[in-house]
Amino acid sequence: MSNQNKDKDNIDIGRNIKMIEFLKCELLNSIAVLFDTLLKGVKDGQDAILEVLANIILVTYSLGKRLGLDYNIVDKKVQDMAKLHMLEEHHLEKWYGDLSNLNQYIKSRGK
């Protein structure tokens, strides 16, 4: 391997590590914003909550990608976890049916 290729690989690895660290901070910041928004009960809170939840999902998918996980693998794992919690009669399922709804949503997205 030439020195030029080694330098490029080192830059790519370094840049990837830097991006992972950025995404970790972004995830923590978004969770803090969510908690703060919920605590304050901000006027027009639904829009603020929607925005921060969407950002958490975006950052989570991006972080998974940087760690070598394809989006469909993350979706599959979420679906598997939802099914497991359904079988275990998790309160989200037992009281609201949320996990069945999520499972159906992910299943329909894959079509």
What amino acid is encoded at 93 in this protein?
A: E
Domain ranges of the chain: 1-69, 70-111
pLDDT given at position 71: 94
What amino acid is encoded at 2 in this protein?
A: S
Q: Using alpha carbons, select from 45, 48, 46, 78 the residue that is nearest to residue 64.
A: 78
Q: What is the mean pLDDT of each run of 10 residues along the chain (111 residues)?
A: 64 92 98 93 82 97 96 94 95 94 89 62
The strand ranges marked E within 6-107 are: none
pLDDT given at position 92: 93
Dist. CA 86–CA 101, nearest whole Å? 11
Structure tokens at 82: 């939802």
pLDDT given at position 5: 64
pLDDT given at position 110: 73
What sign does the CA torsion over 41, 42, 43, 45 have? negative
